[in-house]
Amino acid sequence: MPRKKRSNPKTMNFAGKLRKDPTPAERKLWSKIRNDQLGVTFRRQHAIGNYIPDFVCIEKKLVIELDGSQHLEQKEYDEERTKYLKVEGYRVIRFWNNDVMKNLQGVILSIMQATEDNANH
Question: Residue 66 forms beta bridges with which residues?
Answer: 95
- Domain 9-119 sits in CATH at 3.40.960.10
Q: 104-119 and 24-33 are packed helices; what angle lies between their axes, rounded to 10 degrees? A: 50
Q: What is the pLDDT of residues 19-69, one digit of tens each?
A: 677 889 999 999 999 999 999 999 998 989 888 899 999 999 999 999 876
Its pTM stands at: 0.81
Among residues 21, 25, 23, 61, the alpha carbon closest in space to that of 41 is found at 61
Round to whole Å and give the CA distance between 61 and 101.
25
